[in-house]
Amino acid sequence: MARENFEMRITMKDPETVQTVYQIVMEIAEDEIEDELEINFKNAKLVDGEIVLNSNPIWDRCENGACFEIAMEIASQHPNYSFELESSFEGAGDMLFDEYAKVENAEFHYTLTRDYGDGEKETKKINKVYDGQKWIKPTKKPKKTTKKASSKPIYVVNVTNEGAIIKEYNGTEIDIIVPDFIEGYKVVAIGDLAFSPDRMGVSSKIATARKNIKSVALPEGVVSIGDGAFAFCKNLECIVIPEGVVSIGDDAFAFCENLKSIVIPESVTSIGSTAFYNCENLVIHAPKGSFAEQFVENPPEFAIEDGMLKIYMGKDVSVVIPDGVVSIGFGAFAGCAHIETVSIPESVNNIYLAAFSECTGLKNINIPNSVTQIGVSVFEGCANLKTIIVPSSVTIIEDSAFCDCINLTCVTIPESVTSIAKSAFDGCNNLAIHAPTGSFAEQYAKENNITFVSV
């Protein structure tokens, strides 16, 4: 026997007709299915946003799987009610329509499906509207036109107990006056990378707009400027920092090449070591005796975080890296052409990618006996470097480690080194490798047509 499932959705503008629905369905159930089906409307429950009026499947009590399930959904944007009715009884739909002839402004939609098994199904759909006199087909509703919302607000904020922290600026103004309040909350902080075009995920349009920013006035009430907040705003010329700001984070104005003058108020008691990194033309004005004045008079040479020397900002030709530094970060000294001598402490065990690349004035540097490998491009382009002694702790010399050290004539490599990248000494045309006979370094030198000297 084919199983028939009847699904019905009824939308009514008059909520009072709910009781009428109850009565009609109960009458149909009693008249047509008699006591084969139990329907109890007294046990209505609110479940997941729906008022479930009845759910009494009796697959084990009726051969053709008869089941009435009536549910009422509360429409989220419309005062109407919506009903769904499922039944195996084919005539239930027409009977309901007949009874509902009394209900004006009601819409009925139902689907009858006959399942013959083996994947064969027959489906019948009916849509009707009662206009007060007769059932008619519903007219198609005009499509709603909605105004396309902007992708992002001008200011994206995080709200805390203290107030609003600006997370992102998505505007296109080049002269910006940050409002005192956003979304009803007092602005208390500029978040990390909030105005920076270098922020990950920023569209090219917004990134360009941020690069073009010329001036920014922060409101009173702001207490902190986050890490990288205005980094790479290359056209920024003027920033007004109000009294009350306490901290300016690392890289806050890094690479703001056109920032020539800034006034830091007396309230500031913390400035990140790289806050104004690569602001070559900047003059900082600060009250006498203030923290900012001390920062200007004694600028930090090193940015060190969790034992890593992240960047060198000094002007000395001879650099002594502080004891306690455990690693020298990616590009930490890159491009510091003025440096001639570097002393590295025994506490350092890692020298990362391009750490001293393009230090074209570098003549002397020691590699401590705590370093285990010389990384990619660590000394690439150090044109004045002439000699290097690799300590016995090193086992690996990586790609382009000494590439284009055009004046490098002597490298002493210990027996401990068991791996040297083919490009490690590219461009070192006058090089002689000094190493023990029978070592990997000897083999490398001969395979790459480099002069070998036994030690």
122-147 residue pLDDT tens: 555 555 555 555 555 555 554 544 44
Q: pLDDT at position 120, please?
A: 61
206-256 residue pLDDT tens: 999 999 999 999 999 999 999 999 999 999 999 999 999 999 999 999 999
Q: pLDDT at position 201, please?
A: 84
3-state class (DSSP) for residue 205: helix
187 and 249 co-located in one domain: yes
- Tell me, yes or no, whether 142 lies in a domain: no
Dmax (CA) for the chain in angstroms is 111
Closest to 255 (Cα-Cα) out of 301, 305, 330, 193: 193
Domain that holds residue 173: 155-299
384-413 residue pLDDT tens: 999 999 999 999 999 999 999 999 999 999
Q: What are phi and psi of 284, to 5 degrees?
A: -100, 125
Place of tokens 């995920």: 201
Place of tokens 């016995």: 392
Distance from chain centroid for Cα 265: 33
Amino acid at 381: G
- Tell me, yes or no, whether 149 lies in a domain: no
Task: Indicate the helix (H) or strand (E) that contains 127.
Answer: strand 120-130
Mean pLDDT of 295-308: 91
Cα–Cα distance measured from residue 214 to residue 210, given in angstroms and rounded to the nearest whole number: 9
331 and 422 co-located in one domain: yes
95 and 112 co-located in one domain: yes
279 and 311 co-located in one domain: no
DSSP state of 34: G
pLDDT range class, residue 40, cuts 50, 70, 90: very low
Count up the domains in the chain and report the number: 3
356 and 278 co-located in one domain: no
- Tell me, yes or no, whether 90 lies in a domain: yes
The DSSP bridge pattern shows strands 120-130 and 135-136 to be antiparallel
57 and 177 co-located in one domain: no
Cα–Cα distance measured from residue 229 to residue 166, given in angstroms and rounded to the nearest whole number: 10
Q: By 3-state DSSP, what share of the chain in percent is helix, strand and coil, each rounded to 5?
A: 15, 30, 55
What one-character-per-residue DSSP string does 229-241 give?
Answer: TTTT-TT--EEEP
In this predicted structure, the answer to whether residue 56 has a pLDDT above a threshold of 80 is no
Amino acid at 40: N
Q: pLDDT at position 410, please?
A: 97
In this predicted structure, the answer to whether residue 164 has a pLDDT above a threshold of 60 is yes
306 and 444 co-located in one domain: yes
- Tell me, yes or no, whether 439 lies in a domain: yes
295 and 312 co-located in one domain: no
Cα–Cα distance measured from residue 70 to residue 18, given in angstroms and rounded to the nearest whole number: 12
Global model pTM greater than 0.85: no
261 and 372 co-located in one domain: no
**CATH number for position 222:** 3.80.10.10
